[in-house]
């Protein structure tokens, strides 16, 4: 008695094909989601359009909360230089304006975009204003601060760090001030969190960035 075949495969081999199909179609997406919760979060552009962070899968990210009227605002310049130097290797910087630190980001989303372009020639994405702490905290920052509650601060300005710590209130994992930075691997994992006083061209930050960019 002859048995029917599929693509030339005998019935006894079809079980293996079905098992492989199940692994590829069902288990792979589940595994990716379990490994990369960051990619399940959506954010809004300055124009109000929703963007899933999964669109940055495979990129090395620096996520930073920004402000236009802060003593640290000149870090925009160093961030842009970092982006220009490494964007071709897979770096993307994501800026998130927040008006929660002495109201140093009072402008509208359009005004923030114009400020970044005219004053610092910013080319990396700067998104809509969000809350990075408190009861209205955006899910992105809930994930970031819970996953990496402590920021690296060695090498930053000692007096600035002491001042920031005095101002810091609430949970110890809260964003302390404008321009905290999170370095994210190509797979969506947090590599390190950097305190505001750690500049974008800090040797340790650049070293970790270069290491991540070399990884597939």
Residue 67 lies in a domain: yes
Q: Is the pLDDT of residue 149 over 90?
A: yes
Task: State both tokens at 89.
Answer: 């290797």
pTM of the full predicted structure? 0.82
Residue 195 lies in a domain: yes
Number of domains in the chain: 1
Residue 14 lies in a domain: no
* 70 catalytically annotated: yes
Using a 10 angstrom Cβ sphere, with 0-12 exposed, 13-18 middle and 19 or more buried, the burial of residue 199 is buried
Domain that holds residue 184: 41-214
Residue 6 is classified by DSSP as: B
Task: State both tokens at 35.
Answer: 């490994």
Q: Give residue-wise pLDDT tens across range 159-172.
A: 555 555 555 556 78
Using a 10 angstrom Cβ sphere, with 0-12 exposed, 13-18 middle and 19 or more buried, the burial of residue 48 is exposed
Task: Flag the least confident range among 16-25, 31-40, 138-147.
Answer: 16-25
CATH number at residue 69: 3.40.30.10
Task: State both tokens at 154.
Answer: 């060695």
Residue 73 lies in a domain: yes
| From 43, 46, 70, 175, the catalytic residue | 70
* 114-138 average pLDDT score: 98
Percent of the chain's residues with pLDDT above 90? 75
Q: Is the pLDDT of residue 210 over 50?
A: yes
Residue 17 lies in a domain: no
């Amino acid at each position: 008695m002859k048995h029917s075949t599929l693509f030339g495969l005998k019935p006894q081999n079809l079980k293996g094909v079905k098992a492989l199909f199940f692994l590829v179609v069902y288990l792979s997406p589940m595994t990716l989601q379990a490994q990369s919760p960051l990619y399940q979060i959506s954010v809004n552009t300055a124009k109000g359009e929703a963007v899933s962070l999964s669109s940055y899968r495979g990129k090395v990210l620096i996520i930073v909360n920004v402000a236009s009227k802060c003593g640290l605002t000149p870090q925009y310049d160093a961030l842009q230089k970092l982006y220009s130097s490494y964007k071709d290797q897979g770096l993307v910087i994501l800026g998130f304006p927040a008006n929660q630190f002495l109201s140093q980001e009072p402008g509208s989303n359009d005004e923030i975009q114009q400020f970044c372009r005219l004053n610092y020639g910013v080319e990396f994405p700067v998104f809509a204003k969000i809350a990075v702490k408190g009861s209205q905290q955006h899910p992105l920052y809930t994930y970031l601060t819970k996953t990496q509650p402590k920021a690296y601060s060695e090498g930053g300005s000692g007096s600035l760090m002491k001042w920031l710590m005095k101002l810091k209130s609430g949970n110890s994992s809260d964003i302390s001030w404008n321009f905290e930075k999170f370095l994210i691997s190509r797979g969506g994992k947090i590599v390190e969190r950097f305190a505001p006083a750690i500049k974008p061209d800090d040797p340790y930050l650049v070293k970790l960035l270069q290491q991540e960019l070399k990884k597939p």
